[in-house]
Amino acid sequence: MAAVEPLRVTAGQCPPPPPPPPPAGRAQHGAGPGQEEEEEEEGAALGWAGLGWARRGHPRAPHRCVRGAAAAAGRMIAAQLLAYYFTELKEDQVKKIDKYLYAMRLSDETLLDVMARFRREMKNGLSRDFNPTATVKMLPTFVRSIPDGSEKGDFIALDLGGSYFRILRVKVSHEKKQTVQMESEIYNTPEDIMHGSGTRLFDHVAECLGDFMEKQQIKDKKLPVGFTFSFPCRQSKLDEGYLITWTKRFKASGVEGADVVRLLNKAIKKRGDYDADIMAVVNDTVGTMMTCGFDDQRCEVGLIIGTGTNACYMEEMRHIDLVEGDEGRMCINTEWGAFGDDGSLEDIRTEFDREIDRGSLNPGKQLFEKMVSGLYMGELVRLILVKMAKEGLLFEGRITPELLTKGKFETKHVSAIEKSKEGLNKAKEILTRLGVEPSHEDCIAVQHVCTIVSFRSANLVASTLGAILNQLRDNKGVGRLRTTVGVDGSLYKMHPQYARRLHKTTRRLVPDSEVRFLLSESGSGKGAAMVTAVAYRLAEQHRLIDETLAEFKLTHEQLLQVKKRMRAEMEAGLKKKTHDTAKVKMLPTFVRSTPDGTENGDFLALDLGGTNFRVLLVKIRSGKRRTVEMHNKIYAIPIEVMQGTGEELFDHIVTCISDFLDYMGIKGARLPLGFTFSFPCKQTSLDAGILLNWTKGFKATDCEGEDVVYLLREGIKRREEFDLDVVAVVNDTVGTMMTCAYEDPNCEIGLIVGTGSNACYMEEMRNIEMVDGEQGRMCVNTEWGAFGDNGCLDDIRTIYDKAVDDFSLNAGKQRYEKMISGMYLGEIVRNILIDFTKRGFLFRGQISETLKTRHIFETKFLSQIESDRLALLQVRTILQQLGLNSTCDDSIIVKTVCGAVSRRAAQLCGAGMAAIVDKIRENRGLERLEITVGVDGTLYKLHPHFSRIMHQTVKDLAPNCDVTFLLSEDGSGKGAALITAVGCRLREAEQN
């Protein structure tokens, strides 16, 4: 205890007696009313209030001369002597009670241990394996979201949880800011109905609801209803609740094990004079969280400390085994009152707790609740007073019939006795009514008993709440948690010290959490309306989102149409008559054969397709142990070279080749060379390719319309240092096919799905009208990215595809590629997210500058966001890196959008591939075709679902083809060398 401060004496005053020594042995036993940090504030509650001014620094403490120093000094001396006497008296009583109730004063070490035990119980309750035997049931509530401020509408809330039944009409509107109007009516629930049949109970509820609707003149409307049902229920969806067991003196028969929503609907239907849409059944704790969540969107915990006690909080779906799905969060109703029912709190339960339990309606159950809640606190104090009186420690051993009567000492009496100023007077008044004729010492002692009992309650609640806060912090993966706890309940509200003690102990037990406690203004009724409003908002929002994303969900018939149209466009590209107007160009590559394994020798490969340029030496060895050995060097192409003259570009390329030949020490040899040139070319032979147009930021002059092999040869001539045999100009897609064909002779198709997309395949010469000759096959580079440029895909293009196309560098071109390739998918997603934000579905309707930035949403983010292993927390982190401050719900929507866009891309790609494999099958007149596709590209390789969905689509649309997909390794380097090797082999065969 803080000692009474000695008073300063001015001249002319007599010095007061020395102050009393500070009491010993009070502050060493952990968190309790004797703790030093509590002492000053607790002083009043522990008995100083009776002295009025004797607390340290009290404004009424005499501190100046009034009518003469001597008179004042005399009064002060008298007062100090009185204070000294009372302090000593109080100290004796307090020490005596502290010793007597030692087991109720819990140290921080014990509280931290309780916190760890409760965390284990939470884990058991969430686990499918342990839930059946868990005492803390951790019931899923199917409330998946807290209010986001955009809710609106007219709702009814029913609140059934005690002897009074409340009905509210809650109007949530948006004019300038969100406002809530509430009108309510309270109906009595008579004892005979509480203990009668379930049918009678729900008929009564339905009758009250009918009366309320008539008064509100809304019987003709079918308003959404939220039902706060404050009893333990098991739910498998938001609008059903199976009562596990009655509590709070309710005993209506035929309800336990039944769905209370169905029972209420049945009662409403039986009346037939109105209709109601019960959208949600809610526990009062959840109602509290939702009410506070409306005012503070950080609120993710609901806490009730009143007649009973319970808590709920927003848990990650991935931890809730009892509900399917890992996405998002759901509110869990802990039903923590049953903590300890398995004996896990036996070491801290006292004889008084056991006596309370024995005399209760449900012995052995709700043991934690019996230690902390308002229903039992007054009774706990009464049992302690009876025992102390019997032992002669109180009331001079007097025991009255009133003191022995259960329920005579109520929790409201505990609150009154612990008030700072009038507490001791109240104690005297209450104890006098019990007939025990208390002395001043008795009043001090009883006040201290109340303090110890209520302080223990606050400490225990702080420890279980601490376990929830730690779970939230760990779920979020943050060092420091910032959150809000919504609180309701008469004990928390009415007890003069309870809230402050709870806050203080919580902050001490969980120092790395910044917790705001928010008092629930209008209780669980408004909360039920909020749950309903959120459910209503989410249902409407999901409907509109589903409606929008439905355009990305292509049916089997639509995909068959895409396949059919791709086939028609391919035919047009192959025919001389339609080739010039065809959008899918079907360019002959003059690659007439895939590798047969006899290729042998050293080859050079050049790879030009972006800002970096590669030169490779590829050593191919045939025989029993075929090997391919590669050496390469990467060179940068400066922007001024990319956008300068053609001569400068090819001189730079030749300089890089010269450096590489020196580096490898092979300048003297005239090696065969393959040139991977990843720009649209029209080939007239294997070693001649006319550049149709530059892409990818290249602008070098005097190149378009020219043969790039000729430009390279001219560059080599100008240098006059070395000579090379340029055998082939190669597209990277063809290189991919050739690389895989070297591993698998069955590979006759190449596919790239990366930044861009393209495909090639071995076509029958007789079908390639642009090249003379009927015999054999030739690889055709489809250049399928331009599929749809004639409008044949307009029926499946969305407004988002059109927006991406309109703002691209080549508007109106490569439309198929813009729907399926990595360069554009992120941009489609970004456009959808902007639209959803404008419509208020995302980011609280706030469009950030980041979201307005083109190409900020890279396709790699799609791959990361859609990863099955990635929790929504990590999705939020990715969005935060993009400057998008998202909630859990936002993250789910973003993930859904990414999934819709990438799924469509994979299906469209699959439809194109199905057209190719079926064409090959028909070309060869086969019932069934077995073929391998060589694939490359970052989207195919890195996206978690793209390849699987694409494979399935090919299977569905080309059921007579068995297609194997083989991942290519370095198609543009190794593939170019292999094409060169095959070219050399065929050239030699022709010469011989």
Q: Which residues are catalytic?
A: 614, 678, 732
3-state secondary structure 450-511: HHHHHHHHHHHHHHHHHHHHHHHHHHHCCCCEEEEEEEECHHHHHCCCHHHHHHHHHHHHCC
Question: For residue 241, what is the DSSP state?
Answer: -
CA 653/CA 609 separation, integer angstroms: 12
The Cα-based distances of 528 to 224, 261, 543, 678, 815 in angstroms read 11, 14, 22, 62, 49
In the Cβ-directed half-sphere of 756, how many Cα atoms lie within 13 Å?
A: 19
The angle, 0 to 180 degrees and rounded to 10, between the axes of the packed helices 440-476 and 498-509 is 40
CA 436/CA 480 separation, integer angstroms: 52
CA 707/CA 729 separation, integer angstroms: 10
CA 923/CA 936 separation, integer angstroms: 25
Question: What is the H or E stretch that residue 571 is in?
Answer: helix 556-574
Residues 589 and 779 sit within 8 Å (Cβ to Cβ): yes
Q: Which two tokens stand for residue 464?
A: 């279980």
CA 392/CA 932 separation, integer angstroms: 96
Residues 911 and 943 sit within 8 Å (Cβ to Cβ): no
The angle, 0 to 180 degrees and rounded to 10, between the axes of the packed helices 36-45 and 440-476 is 140
CA 327/CA 329 separation, integer angstroms: 7
- CA 707 to chain CA centroid, Å, is 55
The Cα-based distances of 374 to 118, 256, 409, 444 in angstroms read 21, 25, 12, 22
Name residue 828's amino acid. Answer: I
CA 488/CA 451 separation, integer angstroms: 21
CA 725/CA 669 separation, integer angstroms: 10
443: nearest Cα among 101, 94, 23, 100: 94
Within 10 angstroms of residue 304's Cβ, the number of other Cβ atoms is 30
What does 698-749 look like in DSSP terms, one character per residue? Answer: ---BT-TTSBHHHHHHHHHHHHTS---EEEEEE-HHHHHHHHHHHH-TTEEE
Contacts of 560 (CB under 8 A, 6+ apart): 911, 957
Which letter, b or e, does each residue of 348-376 get, where b requires 16 or more Cβ atoms within 10 Å of its Cβ? bbbebbebbbeebeeeebbbbbbbbbbbb
The angle, 0 to 180 degrees and rounded to 10, between the axes of the packed helices 946-957 and 556-574 is 80
Q: What is the dihedral of CA 112, 117, 119, 123, to 10 degrees?
A: 170
Name residue 765's amino acid. Answer: M
970: left (phi over 0), alpha (psi -120 to 50) or beta: left
How do 777-781 and 961-967 pair as beta strands? unpaired
Q: What is the dihedral of CA 372, 375, 381, 386, to 10 degrees?
A: -140
Q: Which two tokens stand for residue 656?
A: 């890089």
In the Cβ-directed half-sphere of 261, how many Cα atoms lie within 13 Å?
A: 21
In the Cβ-directed half-sphere of 693, how many Cα atoms lie within 13 Å?
A: 4
CA 225/CA 169 separation, integer angstroms: 9
Residues 308 and 334 sit within 8 Å (Cβ to Cβ): no
